[in-house]
Every structure is written in C-alpha cells, then in structure tokens.
Amino acid sequence: MLLIEDEANIAEAMRFILMREGLRVSHVADGAAALDQVRRDPPDLVILDHMLPGLSGLEILAALRADPETGTLPVIMLTARGRDRDLAERAGADRFISKPFSNAEILAEVRAMLGR
C-alpha cells in the first residue's frame, strides 16, 4: 500500500495504524515523487491526500487513471475540504474520506478495498 500524505503527523499515525494491522505501507510526501513511486513499486492500494506539494492529489489521480498500468488501481482520497468530494469522485477515486477521520474509519475503508 502507498500512502501519499504531506502532513507528517497524519502520515505517521496512519502508517502506525495500518502497519499494526499487518499491512506493508510505503509513504511519499511529495506529489511528483508519488507517481515515480507507483511506477517503481506498484501498490495494491493508494491512500491519496488532495492537497500536496508538487502535484495535487487530483493531478496524481488523473495520471493514474490515464495510464493502462495503473488505471484500475484502488484509490482512497483524503481531504480536509469536504466540498472536494465531487471532484475526487469525478476524477476516479474509489472511496473518499474527509479529514478529520477516525482510526476505525480508515481501517474499515482499507479492509473493504483490500477485501479483508
């Protein structure tokens, strides 16, 4: 799984929660580096923040969906702004979570996306 999140506290908390579930979690904080990481080591799921340096989450999502290699990659979109949900859904996000979120919410969405 790849977590693309630029807020260090959020990223660390999410990694801890997910790794405690036995999941392997890679983390990237920069939008431009995220696409390189996906291509180098394709994940089974992406958790993608909307507001990122380099490229926005929506730009990353559009690039993933446009590439035949990553077009069906499951993506959970995160944002602090609930009004961005429509944009994320139109761009092809599979799931959407607004910040702040609970640990249980993240775990439930990840489990559902991974079929656990």
Percent of the chain residues past pLDDT 90, beyond the cut: 75
- Amino acid at residue number 21: E
pLDDT in tens, 78-88: 987 766 777 88
Gap between the Cα atoms of 114 and 111, Å rounded: 5
Interval 80-104 mean pLDDT? 83
Gap between the Cα atoms of 104 and 44, Å rounded: 20
Gap between the Cα atoms of 73 and 87, Å rounded: 18
- Sign of the four-CA dihedral 29, 67, 59, 104: negative
pLDDT in tens, 25-49: 999 999 889 999 999 999 999 999 9
Gap between the Cα atoms of 27 and 21, Å rounded: 16
Look at the domain 2-111 and name its fold. Rossmann fold (3.40.50)
> Where in the chain are the domains?
2-111
Interval 57-79 mean pLDDT? 94
